């Protein structure tokens, strides 16, 4: 490998400076657009130009040595980590809400008048940041944000900005532990209470929630369901509806059979749409929903599609109001519908492996948490049995 500074005479009498680069058996020329004048009055300027060309040559050699040896440029580690992290956040296609939230917490921790470089991000810095977050939120939320930072640091590692992810230097005893979280789910009795409750929340919102209770779909999947996503796989005139969709969270394609209750909800939505076709006058909101309803099964839910903090808060406020109107004391949120599907399926005899597949879990260990819930319910049921003589 060699980099040499060379000169080329131009027609006007000036001299053009360029780099003659020989690397791995190949020769390349890189013209610097630096020209040396042949006039005496430009002697000092020419000296400065030659010094600049020499610095460019040295930098080129330095960069090539780094690239060839696999070493990292220490100057990159002086870059602003917050700026880098912001770029990672807005390039991420999934999980935007947690990424944006983690960026917000990072900026608040660093402050507007401070600058944090990659050199500053040490194991101790991460421990201090972890402790800062722990004072504001639960352990599982802290772990979610720290996972985002670890992913970003792994990207920096791939880009050869850092030599090692500083998370590796944190002792196991200093790492925060995941907490067991109680998963809110509904029993059939709870669902019946919701169904019969007098409440003014949107009818489609009830339908989309119940559909998830009997299909296990996440909010990000169910609110984008199209009528074309359903196929009839039945034979000889029999109806056996199958749902084809792409999981928003995992990006995998799923094909799942629908329960009788889920099919009934779908038919109810179809009937509601057909009834709206006959409506002579519509206001702007009704017309907008009608046009979306030609394609989407739940147009009201589709309009709430963006996965933002405000939308999730709005959804959960509606659910909590509905639960209150139904006399339920459970902390209801939309993901409760997915928990409900899993516990109902296991309660009524579906094996763990099948439930795992219906939920779209990649690892069956993720599904075992629902088996623990069922075991707890069985224990509670046995404890309620009467005792002889009492």
Q: Across residues 370-378, what is the average pLDDT?
A: 78
Topology agreement, domain 76-174 and domain 188-383: no
Is CATH 1.10.443.10 the right assignment for the domain spanning 188-383?
Answer: yes
Q: What residues pair up with 296 in beta bridges, in sequence order?
A: 226
For 290, the enclosing helix (H) or strand (E) is: helix 284-293
**Would the pLDDT of 71 be above 80?**
no
- The CA distance from 360 to 350, in Å, is 15
In this predicted structure, what is the pLDDT of residue 337? 92
In this predicted structure, what is the pLDDT of residue 92? 57
For helices 203-213 and 336-347, angle between their N-to-C axes, nearest 10 degrees: 40
**Would the pLDDT of 94 be above 60?**
no
Q: Across residues 57-66, what is the average pLDDT?
A: 75
Distance from the first to the final alpha carbon of the chain? 93
| Tens-place pLDDT, residues 343-370 | 998 888 888 888 888 888 888 887 888 8
Into which CATH architecture does domain 76-174 fall? Orthogonal Bundle (1.10)
| Tens-place pLDDT, residues 207-237 | 999 999 999 998 888 888 899 888 876 666 6
Q: Across residues 278-282, what is the average pLDDT?
A: 76
Residue 66's pLDDT band (cuts 50, 70, 90): low
* Exposure string over 152-180, b if 16+ CB within 10 A, otherwise e: bbebbeeeebbeebbbeebeeeeebeeee
In this predicted structure, what is the pLDDT of residue 193? 94
In this predicted structure, what is the pLDDT of residue 68? 66
In this predicted structure, what is the pLDDT of residue 160? 81
In this predicted structure, what is the pLDDT of residue 70? 55
**Would the pLDDT of 194 be above 90?**
yes
**Would the pLDDT of 45 be above 90?**
no
* Tokens coding 176: 């925060």
In this predicted structure, what is the pLDDT of residue 306? 53
In this predicted structure, what is the pLDDT of residue 389? 67
- Which residues, in sequence order, are CB contacts of 303 under 8 Å at separation 6+? 288, 289, 292
- The residue extents of the domains of the chain are 2-69, 76-174, 188-383
In this predicted structure, what is the pLDDT of residue 234? 60
* Tokens coding 155: 């990207």
| Tens-place pLDDT, residues 293-352 | 888 898 888 777 654 446 677 888 889 999 999 999 888 889 899 999 999 988 888 888
- Which residues, in sequence order, are CB contacts of 333 under 8 Å at separation 6+? 184, 315, 316, 319
* Tokens coding 203: 């009818």
User: Which range has the worst mean pLDDT, 122-126, 160-164, 344-348, 385-389?
Assistant: 385-389
């Amino acid at each position: 490998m060699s980099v040499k500074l060379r000169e080329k005479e131009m027609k006007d009498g000036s001299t053009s400076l360029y780099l003659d680069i020989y690397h791995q058996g190949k020769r390349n020329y890189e013209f610097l657009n630096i020209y040396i004048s042949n006039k005496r009055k430009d002697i000092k300027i020419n000296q400065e130009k030659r010094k600049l060309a020499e610095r460019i040559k040295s930098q080129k050699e330095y960069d090539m040595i780094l690239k060839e040896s696999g070493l990292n440029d220490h100057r990159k580690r002086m870059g602003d980590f917050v700026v880098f992290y912001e770029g990672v956040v807005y390039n991420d296609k999934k999980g935007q809400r947690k990424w944006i939230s983690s960026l917000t917490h990072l900026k608040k921790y660093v402050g507007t008048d401070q600058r944090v470089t990659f050199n500053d991000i040490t194991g101790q810095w991460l421990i201090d940041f972890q402790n800062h977050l722990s004072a504001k939120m639960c352990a599982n939320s802290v772990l979610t944000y720290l996972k985002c930072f670890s992913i970003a640091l792994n990207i920096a590692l791939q880009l050869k900005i850092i030599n090692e992810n500083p998370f590796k230097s944190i002792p196991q005893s200093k790492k925060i532990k995941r907490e067991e979280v109680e998963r809110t789910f509904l029993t059939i009795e709870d669902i019946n209470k919701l169904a019969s409750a007098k409440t003014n929340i949107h009818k489609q919102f009830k339908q989309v929630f119940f559909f998830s209770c009997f299909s296990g779909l996440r909010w990000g999947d169910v609110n984008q369901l199209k009528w074309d996503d359903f196929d009839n796989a039945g034979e000889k005139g029999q109806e056996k509806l199958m749902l084809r969709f792409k999981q928003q969270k995992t990006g995998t394609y799923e094909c799942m059979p629908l329960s009788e209750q889920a099919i009934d909800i779908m038919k109810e939505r179809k009937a509601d749409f057909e009834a709206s076709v006959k409506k002579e006058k519509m206001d702007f909101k009704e017309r907008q929903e009608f046009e979306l309803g030609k394609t989407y099964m739940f147009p009201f839910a589709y309009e709430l599609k963006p996965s933002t903090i405000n939308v999730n808060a709005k959804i959960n406020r509606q659910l909590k109001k509905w639960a209150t109107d139904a006399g339920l004391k459970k902390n209801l949120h939309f993901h409760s519908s997915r928990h409900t599907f899993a516990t109902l399926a296991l309660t009524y005899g579906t094996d763990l492996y099948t439930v795992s597949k219906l939920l779209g879990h990649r690892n069956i260990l993720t599904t075992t948490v629902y088996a623990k819930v069922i075991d707890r319910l069985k224990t509670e049921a046995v404890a309620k049995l009467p005792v002889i003589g009492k």
